[in-house]
Chains A and B, each alone.
Chain A
Amino acid sequence: MCTVCGCGEGETKIEGHAHEHDHDHPHHHDHDHEHGHHHYGEGPAHAHAPGMSQSRMVQIEQNILGKNNEYAAANRRFFSDHGILALNLVSSPGSGKTALLTRTLDDLKGELALSVIEGDQQTANDAERIRATGVNALQINTGKGCHLDGHMVGHAMQSLEPADGSVLFIENVGNLVCPAAFDLGEAHKVAILSVTEGEDKPIKYPDMFHASDLMILNKTDLLPYLEFDVAKCIEYARRVNPGIRILQLSAKSGEGMESWYQWIRATRQIVMIDHPELLTGSGICA
């Protein structure tokens, strides 16, 4: 694939062996890692236009994130063509994203085809936690990067090869700021906030809660020991995003998890509107 790809050297590493394809542009691959990670970044064009020396103005009117948006649109098209529900899970570090995910995978893997992209700055620890559930997972290490972008997810898709009609969870880098601006092509951003954090996080990090369609309030089993004002938190979230849906649950005790599963099922049904063939005879939908 990678038709609009600016692959070059960089700090990002994607697990797997997705780089058998030929690129017709300068490329730097560094295969010194046991998984054969994929390194890339931006590739300078080094364009020259001889004979032009007069200073002049050029109107370009381009969105700074235009390139990322192109990659994201390509991903969205891929997801749509294959009836895949892609969810972008965003939160601060330590909100219990991975624990929520492993429980979700354990509970839904008998019912739905699932796969996971794990984004972290370093280590494949989270992907290993996910793989322990038996679900296919791919780790992306962003190096110094603070977010996943559309380009990385597009490449991850080549290695991960999620099944038609499946649900793909993309666990973004733990960060409530940067991932808000970078579209990955997902159907929905899901913001996870735990009750051990401040109830004012939605207004401290308004961009993320504005960009998300669902907010999950996690670790509710700890509420009796904390002074977390749930009503206040919900009010703050609605201030930045009047349309946001909110679920309260505990991935540890299991309380509230069924609502989250219903949300996933219902959201997937919407994707299936264009793919009636995937609802029958595929064995992935009860």
Chain B
Amino acid sequence: MHELSLCESILQVLEQNAQSQGYSQVKAVWLEIGQLSGVELEAMRFGFEVVTRGSLADGARLEIVELPGQAWCMKCAKTVQVKQRFDECPDCGSYQLQVTGGEEMRIKELEVD
């Protein structure tokens, strides 16, 4: 997808928080990435390494927590698990689903020096 620009955004956030949070080096970054966010995790790891080179996060460890895709099935009136956006309800087979989780792309926390 656009993992490289996402990694650039992450670096921007790290740099912007450096002053207010009082750190000069980032040793690890925890991300929460939803299964429906369209992010390719391997491309993310590669992009992160490339983008952070020579920055305050050079060599930082990237930890990615994957969050499951969830949707509200209008027919069953309950939350079900989905792997893709066009999945049918695993119980009733309806496509009338409203995605409720799994679209996250969040920087959760940092280990800093």
Q: Does B10 touch A at the CB level, under 8 Å?
A: yes
CB distance from A84 to the nearest CB of B (A): 26
Chain B residues with Cβ below 8 Å from A54 are 113
Q: Does A238 touch B at the CB level, under 8 Å?
A: yes
Q: Does A281 touch B at the CB level, under 8 Å?
A: no
Assembled-state Cα–Cα distance A187/B99 (Å) = 21
Q: Does B106 touch A at the CB level, under 8 Å?
A: yes
On whether A49 and B19 interact (CB within 8 A), knowing A55-B27, A64-B31, A236-B86, the answer reads yes
Could you say which interface size class chain B belongs to? 35 or more
Contact A64 B19 (CB under 8 A): no
Counting residue pairs across A and B whose Cβ atoms lie within 8 Å, the total is 123
Q: Does B105 touch A at the CB level, under 8 Å?
A: yes
Kindly identify, within residues 27 to 73 of chain B, every residue whose CB is under 8 Å from any CB belonging to chain A.
Answer: 27, 31, 37-38, 55-56
Contact B107 A64 (CB under 8 A): yes
Contact A65 B105 (CB under 8 A): yes
Please count how many residues in chain A sit with their CB below 8 Å of the partner chain's CB atoms.
45
Assembled-state Cα–Cα distance A54/B84 (Å) = 42
On whether A42 and B106 interact (CB within 8 A), knowing A180-B38, A203-B86, A206-B86, the answer reads no
Assembled-state Cα–Cα distance A68/B6 (Å) = 10
Specify which of A64, A68, A240 is in contact with B10 (CB 8 Å cutoff).
A64
Chain B residues with Cβ below 8 Å from A180 are 38
Chain A residues with Cβ below 8 Å from B56 are 47
Binding site for A on B (CB under 8 A): 1-2, 5-6, 8-13, 15-19, 21-24, 27, 31, 37-38, 55-56, 84-86, 88, 95-97, 99, 105-113
